[in-house]
Structure 1
Amino acid sequence: MNEAPRTVRIAVGLWLAIAVFVFLTTAGLWFQRAEVRELTDWSEGQITSFLATLSGVALVFVVAYGLLVWQFLKRKNWPRAALSFVAIAHMVWILYVGVSASSLVTLLLICVAIVFTWQARTAQWLAEVREQ
């Protein structure tokens, strides 16, 4: 990645930051079961089911971001579109589940990551491989 332009390095860093942030915030919810109970008045079983669903979906997004970034670093062009598609699905999921401070941070990171992923210099870096 040393040869990659700054826009690519920033994009990769943002996608990986999103994956780590989603993982940590989801894991943190398991330690906040009491707060979830106070906010929702759900039973322990409902809370566990909710957290398991959130964790499963978060794991899908984390793995998708990781695998797509790995392919992106191999200078393949298709992961840019796939990252954007996954990111939009992630944004819709966040809005469906409910907006919180951490989800707003995730939404902001996703928007900035998409911008850097589609910068002209990033496209040029990917095109250099096809020209060789």
Structure 2
Amino acid sequence: MTETTTPPPTALRGAVGVWLATAVFGVFTVGYLWIRPDAVREVLRPGGSVAEVLGPLTVAALLFGGAYAVFAPLLLRGRRWARVALTVTAFLHLLWVMLPGVSVAGFITVLMIGIAAVLTWRRSTAHWLKEQ
């Protein structure tokens, strides 16, 4: 007797896509800043260096992006704990993005995280994860 599993719901597949898009967006945003250091110099304090600003941003983008890239596929495979891991990562990411101030990239990141979180915690996703 073969066991058939139901495919993941559309909301969950969408959530995984948005989590991964958030990871890519963060890395590309930092990459753009490395390519355009003049944009960073405009907002530096006197005596500050571009590397001092972009170093922590790069580490954060790689850590958050890496976490999304690891946890999102695990969620798609039915690992319930990955939903909590994504939520905790998203909360920390929101703090990281919101504390320095408002920016267009920050707004887009917050929007993407919000969409992904809502899709991750939809009833259809929760029901599917219980079946796994």
Identity of aligned residues (%): 38
SS of the residue 1:98 aligns to: coil
For residue 91 of structure 2, what is the aligned residue in structure 1?
88
Task: Decide which of 64, 72, 79 is 2:82's aligned counterpart.
Answer: 79
Match of 2:27 in 1: 23
> How has the CA–CA distance of structure 1 residues 58 and 42 changed in structure 2, closer, same or farther, with 3 Å as cutoff?
farther
Deviation per residue, 1:23-75 (Å, 9 max, x gap):
101111112211221232545x6211210111001100010011111211220
- The one-letter code sitting in structure 1 at the alignment partner of 2:72 is V
Distance 2:131 2:42 in 1: 55
Q: Does 1:121 align with 2:124?
A: yes
Compute the TM-score of the two structures, normalised by the length of structure 2: 0.89
Alignment partners' CA distance in 1, 2:25 and 2:104: 12
Q: 2: distance between equivalents of 1:102 and 1:50?
A: 16
Contact 2:9-2:125 at 8 Å conserved across structures: yes
Asked whether the equivalents of residues 14 and 119 of structure 2 are also in contact (C-alpha less than 8 Å), the reply is yes
Amino acid across the alignment from 1:16: L
Aligned residue pairs, count: 127
Report the aligned-residue RMSD.
1.5
Which structure features the higher share of helix residues? 1
2: CA distance between counterparts of 1:19 and 1:42?
Answer: 31
Gaps of 5+ in 2: 1-5
